[in-house]
A and B are shown apart, each in its own frame.
Chain A
Amino acid sequence: MTRLRAVPPYAVPSLVIVALTAFLAFALVRLFQVEQAMRVNVDENMLWVVTQAQVASHRLDQAVNRRALGNSAEDPELRLDILSSRLTLMDDGPQRRYLAAEGLEPRLDEALDRMQALREIITATPGEARFDPERLTPHLDALMASLNRIANQVMMAEWESTGSRLDTYRNSLEKVIAAIVGIGLSGAILVMLLVTALRQRRAAQRGLMAHRDRLEEEVERHIYRYRQAAEALAQALDRERGVSEFYRSFAAMVSHQFRTPLAVIDSGLQRLLRRHHQFTPEQRSERYTRLREAVAQMTRLVESSLTAARLDGKQVEPSMGRHSLSGIVDHLCRLQSEATGTRRLQTEHGTPEPWAWCDRALTEQVLANLVNNALKYSPEDRPVRITTAREGDRVICQVTDFGPGFLPKSSRSCSNASSAAAMRRAPTVPAWG
């Protein structure tokens, strides 16, 4: 099975251009032919030549007769010369061919013969008798009759020729008009092809732009994905750094904070080993209690250090929620009382109930830290007061003790457990939380 081959896109415009060129060339050739034909004017010239010969023959006839009547001013010889000139012109190449083509050559020859006869009479006869009308008139009449027939025939031939030429012009002009119509149609087709090509080009441009937009969106999507991946990598790196910071901070805090309770436990255990026979059961029980307190302090320190290290290492992801701040404070005070047996904590809650958007565990940790510090660095006979209140769209939790307070530049780090050692006694500064 033969497959149809696609027509090349330039085939149709090429054919149209070829047709346009052909029409144009045809029209030009036809117009050139008409222009050349219009230059041929031998017909009109021939009629003039013949009529002038006729006039010359009549002027000769007139001169002969007037001379015979005694008018000596008339010059038949001059008139004969003029007539000779006209007939000689008719005998010249183009004129003779024209007359021969019209079948008038015998008439021309007869006219020339008559003219020669007239010349012989005039030149061969002496005196005034050479202009004798009786001898000249028969030849002159025959000559005029021949010229009359020639003029008659030439006139008809010219009319026929003119009609024929007009037919030729008309035919040529009709073909030229047809060619011009063809040129117009070809031009119209070319314009249509041009418009179609422009539309296709515009559509292709639109398609290209749409494709480019899609490509840009695709690239943007890939870039966004890569950016997300980069951000994830950066977060992972940050977490890694956080973990590293966590361990470093935890190790630093442990090495710093655990020395005291470890020293207490170690010295207590050494005393028990060396003197346990000297101690009464009450004294041993007291030592054990102190040791347990030291262990409990270490446990709190571990919890506190872990939390602080997490915070420093950015390892804490808050779990936000709506919680009652007064509830958190009450729960904290209850745990603190059970753990330490203290009765110094006093709470006071305002109305309405202060709800807060926070992470409960972290908030408890912060408050526990503050409360522990307040209990630790204030006189044991003075209370630690915790109040909650609501002010506009904010909630406030205030921990107040009656200790000596901190130096102002240390207050910024007071929530950091690792900075606890940096706390300084400042008797002139009131305590706060």
Chain B
Amino acid sequence: MSGEVGLTNVDDEAHLDAAMLAALPRERLTTHTSVTDGPQTFEGFLARDLLDALHAEGETVTALALNDYLAEIPVEDFERYDVLLADTMNCERLTRRDKGPLWIVYPRDDHAELQDIRYDYRWVWQLYRLEVE
């Protein structure tokens, strides 16, 4: 994680391994997605918990995927909704051959407005980097 991050460990960035991420509070979320059939159960940690843990403060988070996909997400999304950074789907670990290592998942079944197409591009999978601005 880079940008406006309070806690860093490599230069101005915070590099997190699986053990560090496992220390964050675990959350579970069951919701439909736009690319799968039926409800899916995800496990992981809340995006706002990660930002709080690293004392990250900003208005926008730029999420980058392994295929160089990039999406800008308002931090307000993480404050208003329980946005999950999932590492498990239906009790199976997400790998980079699928949507891993992390997949940004919105609780779209709990909020009708999240079913709008303008939220779908924020579901970044194969997430590996966040830049806080």
Contacts and interface: CB of A to CB of B under 8 A. Distances in A.
A and B interact physically: yes
B36 A56 contact: no
Q: Is the interface of B mostly helix, strand, loop or mixed?
A: loop
Given A85-B125, A85-B126, A78 B36 contact: no
A85 B117 contact: no
B96 interface: yes
A55 B67 contact: yes
Interface stretch (A88-96, A273-281, A361-369): A88-96
A92 B36 contact: yes
Interface residues of B, number: 18
A86 B96 CA distance: 10
Contacts of B36: 92-94
Contacts of A56: 67
A113 to B, nearest CB: 16
B126 to A, nearest CB: 6
B67 A52 contact: yes
Contact of B35 (A82, A84, A95): A95
B37 A78 contact: no
A45 interface: yes
B98 interface: yes
A286 interface: no
Given A93-B37, A94-B37, A84 B97 contact: yes
B9 interface: no
Contacts of B126: 82, 85
A351 interface: no
B48 interface: no
A81 B117 CA distance: 27
Contacts of A2: none
Interface string A105-139: 00000000000000000000000000000000000
A81 B35 contact: no
A93 B98 CA distance: 14
Given A39-B115, A45-B34, A85-B125, 8 more contacts: A42-B34, A45-B35, A52-B67, A59-B67, A85-B98, A85-B126, A89-B35, A92-B35
23 contacts: A42-B34, A52-B69, A55-B67, A56-B67, A78-B96, A81-B66, A81-B95, A81-B96, A81-B97, A82-B66, A82-B126, A84-B97, A85-B66, A85-B99, A85-B125, A86-B67, A88-B98, A89-B35, A93-B36, A94-B34, A94-B35, A94-B36, A94-B37
